[in-house]
Amino acid sequence: MKNTVIKILSFFTSIIPIKYLIKITGINVIYPFYHIISDNPPKHIKHLYKIKSTNQFRKDLDFLSKYFQNTTEINTNLKTNKAQFNISFDDGLQECY
């Protein structure tokens, strides 16, 4: 059931341009969160969730940079026509130390 709902929502978000989604929802700040990026998914992680490859991650960054402004701190007084994003990584994995 969950996968069906995700597929349906993905379909609609794929046909509605992102700038209209931002305008319709009024959400102008997003917080993409990545657990791990790897071209060789670790055995202890790969069964838990989908792991982005470095190429997929680059594509994500290209997309985010096209429609959003990267910020290290969300600034509501920032004068920009773009929505903002603040990317975050899970640093609790053994690969991070």
pLDDT of residue 82: 77
| Angle separating helix axes 18-25 and 54-67, nearest 10 degrees | 60
Dihedral (CA of 45, 48, 64, 10) sign: positive
pLDDT of residue 30: 84
State pLDDT tens for residues 48-74. 888 889 999 999 999 999 888 888 766
Tell me the C-alpha distance between 78 and 39, whole Å: 36
SS3 (DSSP) at 85: strand
State pLDDT tens for residues 17-33. 877 877 887 777 888 88
pLDDT of residue 59: 95
Model confidence pTM above 0.75: no
Q: Does the pLDDT at position 95 exceed 70?
A: no
